[in-house]
Amino acid sequence: MTSNIRRGIFAMLFLVGISFLYAGCGADSNMTMETELESESEPDENDIVIGVSQVGSESDWRATNTQAYRDTFTEEKGYYLIFEDGQQKQENQVKALRKFILKGVDYIVLDPIVETGWDAVLKEAQDANIPVIIADRNVSVEDESLYTCWVGSDFMLEGRNAGEWLARYLRSRGRGNKDINIVTLQGTLGSTAQIGRTLGFAEVMEKHANWNMLEYQSGDFTQAKAYEVMEYFLETYEDIDVVISENDNMTFGAIEAIKEAGLRLSRNGDIIIISFDAVRDALLLVQKGEIAADFECNPITPPLVEEIIQKLERGEEIEKVQYVDETYFDYKMDMETLLQDRTY
Ligand code: GZL
């Protein structure tokens, strides 16, 4: 179906939707109706209509990623953005994709909360001739032709780099052969970020027989849940040497629980914390010595998604997998200078 036909359907559905709204409003809700009409602009004839299904708003990382979509796909640049927050529920994201298909958008961008459960709705998008770009987290589907490409982080590499950093750090402290007790706060189970970081770190674990993983538990990438899990870890295990926390917001919760237990952090003593994302508030804790190392996960993927869409508009070939560039930060670095140039 060409995008003009789709756009015609979009316009018709839009007007039908508005008429239902109008019919449903009593006389006294004209103000509401006017507000609705003012806020519900229609795409222009030449706009590229993009439906974005976002995971949720669970972390600082996610907030930066969402803002980057709004900064990238602007009306001034010829886009009409329909942005749906999945509120960390897969069923909300599936509903959003079906809404995009019904509206006849030109492109769908999906950041999938977990990897599985997308085959059916991606097949519906394919049948509607709507290209789907997977961004940030990835999907695991039977038929890889169901999506155009994936752009995101090499999460396995993030996990491996964290493990290798810990090995170097322990050696530098004369603890290369000492028994090391580790707990892991995992992200949302089944998400690409959690799978990759867990497996990547586990690969390095295998090279260190003196490292002992006491327990893995999910903090679902949120500060509140991680606080509870860290409290449980501290009540359950006498001697924790290292906390691997698969995102910064869980680290904030873990640090709160550790401090309440009267323990000291990272460079200053009892528990070494290794974190992922490298959001600004976490880098300030690296500077303070409370986080020993933070492995960046670049949230600025929307400009790469835009490049892909522009290539598709020109009928160019697209790489199936595109990784974003990432680095890490640790207590030895001059965070003052590094933070000056950083936008998130
Ligand atoms: C990683 C992203 C993860 C972040 C978390 O790319 O999907 O989800 O690491 C976020 O902060 O919740």
Q: Distance (Å, rounded) from C-alpha 138 to C-alpha 151? A: 8
Ligand 1 pocket check for 61: Cβ under 6 Å:
yes
- The ligand 1 atom at the shortest distance from the C-alpha of residue 277 is 9
pLDDT of 36 above 50: no
- The ligand 1 atom at the shortest distance from the C-alpha of residue 58 is 12
Q: What is the number of alpha carbons within 13 Å of residue 301 lying toward its C-beta?
A: 29
pLDDT of residue 22: 39
**pTM to 2 decimals?**
0.86
Of 1 and 312, the structure prediction assigns the larger pLDDT to 312
pLDDT of 266 above 70: no
pLDDT of residue 277: 97
Instruction: Give the mean model confidence (pLDDT) for residues 6-30.
Output: 44
Ligand 1 pocket check for 193: Cβ under 6 Å:
yes
- The ligand 1 atom at the shortest distance from the C-alpha of residue 152 is 6
Instruction: Give the mean model confidence (pLDDT) for residues 67-88.
Output: 96
Residue 118: CB partners within 8 Å, gap ≥ 6?
A: 94, 110, 112, 139, 141, 146
Ligand 1 centre to CA of 179 (Å) is 31
Q: Which residue among 57, 59, 323, 344 is best mutated to probe the pocket of ligand 1, counting the most ligand atoms within 8 A of its Cβ? A: 59
Ligand 1 pocket check for 277: Cβ under 6 Å:
yes
pLDDT of 61 above 90: yes
CB atoms within 10 A of CB 74: 11
Tell me the per-residue pLDDT of 156-200, one tens digit each, with 9 for 90 and over. 999 999 999 999 999 999 999 999 999 999 999 999 999 999 999
Ligand 1 centre to CA of 188 (Å) is 9
Average pLDDT, the chain: 89
pLDDT of 39 above 50: no
pLDDT of residue 40: 53
Ligand 1 centre to CA of 60 (Å) is 9
Of 50 and 30, the structure prediction assigns the larger pLDDT to 50
Ligand 1 centre to CA of 178 (Å) is 32
Do 294 and 282 touch, CB atoms closer than 8 A? Answer: yes
pLDDT of 5 above 70: no
Ligand 1 centre to CA of 95 (Å) is 22
Ligand 1 centre to CA of 297 (Å) is 8
pLDDT of residue 7: 52
Of 28 and 114, the structure prediction assigns the larger pLDDT to 114
Tell me the per-residue pLDDT of 129-160, one tens digit each, with 9 for 90 and over. 999 999 999 999 999 999 999 999 999 999 99
* From 35-49, 59-73, 99-113, the region with the lowest mean pLDDT: 35-49
Measure Cα distances from 302 to 64, 115, 160, 281, 310 in Å.
Answer: 11, 20, 26, 22, 12
Say what percent of the chain tops pLDDT 70: 88
Tell me the per-residue pLDDT of 202-256, one tens digit each, with 9 for 90 and over. 999 999 999 999 999 999 999 999 999 999 999 999 999 999 999 999 999 999 9
Q: Distance (Å, rounded) from C-alpha 219 to C-alpha 217? A: 7
Q: Which residue among 90, 139, 277 is best mutated to probe the pocket of ligand 1, counting the most ligand atoms within 8 A of its Cβ? A: 277
Ligand 1 centre to CA of 1 (Å) is 35
pLDDT of residue 343: 79
